[in-house]
Amino acid sequence: MLRYICSRTTHSFMKITSLLVLLLLLVGTSCISRKQITYLQENEQTQDSLPSILKKQEPYRLQINDLLSIRIKAFDEEGVSVFNPVGDSNPNATGEERLYYDGFRVDEHGDIRMPSLGEVPVLGLTVDEVRLELRKRLLSEFFKPEANLFVTVKLSGIRYTLAGEIGSPGSQIIYRDEVSIMEAIANSGGIPVTGDLTDVIIIREYPIGQKVHHIDLTNIDALNSPYYFLKPNDLILVNPLPQKTIGTGITGLQSFTTILSIVTALTTSILLFIRL
């Protein structure tokens, strides 16, 4: 009888020991490491990353539904007034809403429609190329060289959408010519520790349709990525880390507490079963 009790006790002890080992393994694999939540990490042998930061990006080429802000100035202010929006289509509009009324949208044919000039094809051009083309047409058809014509063409801000594991998901617009993905994330409240920085997804529009791209924001090489700087209408998706899906906890202490409670319940059940 004593041998039977010792055998069952030893067996129970082995089960409890196995559960404790499993607990330690789960804690080690379930918590989120520092490396997973640190942006733009450099290789230990890296001496100078400046050339990467200064790498020039390809200029953006206009696509359908882009909105342009176009202003024309000259000595003859009355002569150029017909080409500039008067802003009376909705006098109460401000900010982005005013750009919607006063801007020039690239239509489904790739053209913008301007007073007197009519349809101007701009699809696939850069804003500088559009500026030069408009200036050329205005000088050949409406103005003389001495008119001191000055044409400004800009994108009406860069609109993007952030979704998933992000502080403040939604669409935003930044009135700049260039916006990095880091700036966009910061403006949206940042990515919480449960977000996957290693595989941020960017869905980008092209004339032939949409394409899906990936960028690892934990790696300093992200600065060289063609997707580091946003393009108009980019959709940025941040997926959750597996630790959030598992639900064991974010920090090591949270994981330990959660798993310990599970192991305690299992151990109690085993001990009760042994006594039966």
- DSSP state string for 7-74: HHHHHHHHHHHHHHHHHHHHHHHHSPPGGGG-SSBPPTT----HHHHTPPPPPP---TT-EEEEEEE-
b/e sequence 241-264, b meaning 16+ C-beta within 10 Å: bebbeeebbbeeebbbebbeeebe
CA distances from 252 to 24, 30, 255 (A): 10, 8, 5
Please state, in angstroms and rounded to a whole number, the distance separating the CA atoms of residues 135 and 59.
20
| CA gyration radius, the chain | 30
Other C-beta atoms closer than 10 Å to the C-beta of 184 total: 20
CB atoms within 10 A of CB 29: 13
For residues 62 and 31, give the distance between their C-alpha atoms in angstroms, rounded to a whole number: 45
Q: How many CB atoms lie within 10 A of CB 12?
A: 16
Contact predicate 227/55, CB 8 Å: no
CA 52 – CA 46 distance, rounded (Å): 12
What does the buried/exposed string (b/e) look like for 211-234 if buried means 16 or more CB atoms within 10 Å of the residue's CB?
Answer: eeeebbbbbbebbebebbbbbbbb
Measure the CA–CA gap between 156 and 175, rounded to whole angstroms. 7
When mean pLDDT is compared across 40-44, 49-53, 191-195, 224-228, the lowest value belongs to 49-53
The model's pLDDT over 142-153, given as tens digits with 9 standing for 90+, comes to 888 888 899 999
Tell me which of 228 and 262 has the higher pLDDT.
228
Read off the pLDDT of each residue in 115-129 and give the average, rounded to a whole number: 93
pLDDT tens-digit profile of 2-16?
444 445 555 554 555
What is the reported pLDDT for 6? 46
Q: Tell me the average pLDDT across 61-83.
A: 86
Residue 222 CA to residue 181 CA, distance in Å, equals: 10
Percentage with pLDDT > 90 across the chain: 38
pTM, two decimal places: 0.70
From start to end of the chain, where are the E strands? Answer: 67-73, 104-105, 111-114, 118-121, 150-155, 158-164, 170-174, 200-206, 209-215, 234-238
Give the distance from CA 105 to its chain's centroid: 24
Q: Which of 50-59, 67-76, 183-192 has the lowest mean pLDDT?
A: 50-59
> Which residue from 181, 197, 194, 187 is spatially nearest to 236, judged by alpha carbons?
181
Euclidean distance between CA atoms 257 and 128, whole angstroms: 59
